[in-house]
Structure 1
């Protein structure tokens, strides 16, 4: 990390509060209503202005009144751009005909559960996990089995024995989030191969949430799970989006990537409602992101890498910090502080830093917090200083 100023450094907390995002402007009572100076570090979005190509695409949508229902040609164009990007970045060039639009990853997840798993079968979820994956299964009348991640060599890993037992007990689907939210792990080839062997042995399925794939740092490599083997391709539904890497979650456009002919045919028969809510401006902006905003992404990755270095150098007594391999989400294990309340509540009140409480990520996350580091570096430095000061004043 160097001291050279970057344009993102000028994005002050005051600037972000004036911008209108949920992350900064609507903390509500839960996040300390009435208190000024809160630093928003909970919602998984970046504080950085979008790429010019993305902004131009949105403006062109407005100028051209492109707010109607989504035409097939624009879907095909987005699918081709998605396939090309994934081929260039990850070595997997899926058939563009098997890349389908959805509003977001949760819509893809819902469709996968409904149309690609046995009715009533349980869902296996490694935890800590992205919060909605813990609540959506019940809305679909599906049992959820939390599978706490294990530790090996100082890092969180998937508990394959527990996953195996879950499938043996009748579960039909594993949710595999890679890069992992909320811990930032990027699973390696051996881990993915081991998962594929367990899943295939039980004739089960995988929902591969790879929304953070473009946000992988040097030293780690994202490997699309569906490329692990022919068996993995046959039992996987992959979901992704440009929304995290290019900071466009409000444009409501994601992608389902099919990797099996039978699945692609089944999606054609069942996926209409899942696709229908995809926003036309979002499709056009996504195409521009994948095709024309790769330089912007590289610049953001370099900036985030500097933020990772700042986090790694921070001295936060009593807190075990996991610096992410991918994503812009760090995991802070605060169990060493011996707090008698959720740590996020303590740090919201005592430090004015709003993080996601680990208990919302599953029982395995209790005592931890998810910290979003995708903010201006001076703001992140202030957040870390506040956390440090709050601990030292305990």
Structure 2
């Protein structure tokens, strides 16, 4: 019966999307035709309907076989393993987004990106940022790009001093370590400080030394992939003081910003004061929080006149990389996907809490993330039976669980693994059970 609930939930947007009575164009930003369908949930009834499915743990009914059949990279790259590596969720996308995309298919809305759709998306992001983060951004200074890494390349190439090294606090998102090299830049790794409870903070003295060594652009990730920190304003202000002292720049990756757990709040780095706004390029997207990475759309937020001028001269061409369905999906996520987001964050919070219960007393160090669905496990104290130097390789071979090797995240991250907890809870429990069982053999 629970499987039937999941199938019904997935089918509802497909049916709702096929209403054609009184419909208006997608570029206008009006989806009243979809919501008017008699089978589609009305706005007022949306939460009731969602709670009846998701909060009844409909996600729990998704099986590994079903997820493999869906054909995602997460489950097909290592087809006989539990996929807990790449950063995407296993859950079906928000029904309003699915409905909008099906409507786009019916209308053949896959031509070149119309300006009306872009305008709707940037206005939707600005409204979301104001409501969620108390950040008032000018929609005219929000620009579409394909992804966050494209925005990083723009910052490296056009906003940092030519030839200067890139400053990267580690552990870090893996491409941040490799992408600068393709642009002819070296990376100065700045290991973060880790206390006895597993909490990471920035090493301000080491950041200062990196700028003195010639670094010019600091890559900030908040909420932080892979460690799950959500930075406090005072922490960021301390970092900003170091950056400003050296006349440096900041690229702020805030793609996980909507995924923050109770007791924490995301504050955009550029929103802190005029100084941070003046030296920061921010990149974000709905792709992580609403599980849309394959649709290729992100937002660059320009918060100073100089960066706007540079963007208009050399960055505009990057806007062509954002896809029409991606811009549509991002806009609907920010406008109609908030209830879905809130309930999914609650489910994820349950997962990362449950993970702590499962790992307690096992010898695997764990501190629950403050944001993101990525968890950072300290396996350095384990005596791996086969003498393997990589915990990720050991668990993939002996436990059948695919993880990210911490060594890919920085020089000082050997012995850690990154586990993606955005999966059905029974599968998470099964993955941990396999990991622990492999240590007993």
Instruction: Classify the TM-score, shorter chain.
Output: over 0.9
Give runs of aligned pairs for residues 1-394 of structure 1, distance below 5 A. 5-27=56-78, 36=80, 38-152=81-195, 154=197, 155-315=199-359, 317-339=362-384, 340-393=388-441
Residue 73 of structure 1 and its aligned partner are, at CA, apart by 1.7
Quick one: distance in 2 between partners of 1:389 and 1:372? 19
> Do the aligned residues in 2 keep the contact of 1:50 with 1:247 (CA within 8 Å)?
yes
Quick one: distance in 2 between partners of 1:176 and 1:269? 25
Unaligned runs of 5+ in 1: 28-32
Quick one: distance in 2 between partners of 1:166 and 1:338? 35
> Do the aligned residues in 2 keep the contact of 1:149 with 1:364 (CA within 8 Å)?
no
Quick one: distance in 1 between partners of 2:132 and 2:253? 17
> Do the aligned residues in 2 keep the contact of 1:58 with 1:285 (CA within 8 Å)?
yes
Quick one: distance in 2 between partners of 1:254 and 1:160? 30
Quick one: distance in 1 between partners of 2:287 and 2:439? 34
SS of the residue 1:341 aligns to: coil
Quick one: distance in 2 between partners of 1:183 and 1:61? 37
- Larger mean CA deviation between 141-150 and 54-63 belongs to 54-63
Quick one: distance in 1 between partners of 2:82 and 2:56? 21
Residue 57 of structure 1 and its aligned partner are, at CA, apart by 1.7
SS of the residue 1:369 aligns to: strand
Quick one: distance in 2 between partners of 1:267 and 1:153? 44
Residue 150 of structure 1 and its aligned partner are, at CA, apart by 0.6
Give deviations 1:99-148, integer Å, cap 9, x for gaps: 00000000010111111111101100111100000100000001111111
Quick one: distance in 2 between partners of 1:120 and 1:351? 44
> Do the aligned residues in 2 keep the contact of 1:200 with 1:231 (CA within 8 Å)?
yes
TM-score w.r.t. length of structure 1:
0.95
> Do the aligned residues in 2 keep the contact of 1:19 with 1:25 (CA within 8 Å)?
no
TM-score w.r.t. length of structure 2:
0.85
Residue 384 of structure 1 and its aligned partner are, at CA, apart by 1.0
Give deviations 1:25-82, integer Å, cap 9, x for gaps: 122xxxxx7xx3x100000000000011111121122122211111222111100000
Residue 275 of structure 1 and its aligned partner are, at CA, apart by 1.5
The runs of at least 4 aligned residues of structure 1 exceeding 6 Å deviation read: none
Residue 326 of structure 1 and its aligned partner are, at CA, apart by 0.2
Unaligned runs of 5+ in 2: 1-54
Rg larger in structure: 2
Rate the CA distance shift 1:228–1:338 in 2: closer, same or farther, 3 A. Answer: farther
Which of structures 1 and 2 has the larger relative contact order (alpha carbons within 8 angstroms, sep 6+)? 1
> Do the aligned residues in 1 keep the contact of 2:84 with 2:402 (CA within 8 Å)?
yes
SS of the residue 1:337 aligns to: coil
SS of the residue 2:375 aligns to: strand
> Do the aligned residues in 2 keep the contact of 1:183 with 1:331 (CA within 8 Å)?
yes
- Larger mean CA deviation between 239-248 and 313-322 belongs to 313-322
Residue 228 of structure 1 and its aligned partner are, at CA, apart by 1.6
Residue 341 of structure 1 and its aligned partner are, at CA, apart by 2.2
Number of residue pairs matched by the alignment: 383
Quick one: distance in 1 between partners of 2:59 and 2:126? 30
Residue 206 of structure 1 and its aligned partner are, at CA, apart by 0.3
> Do the aligned residues in 1 keep the contact of 2:359 with 2:366 (CA within 8 Å)?
no
> Do the aligned residues in 2 keep the contact of 1:177 with 1:210 (CA within 8 Å)?
yes
Residue 153 of structure 1 and its aligned partner are, at CA, apart by 6.2
The CA RMSD measured in Å over matched residues stands at 1.3
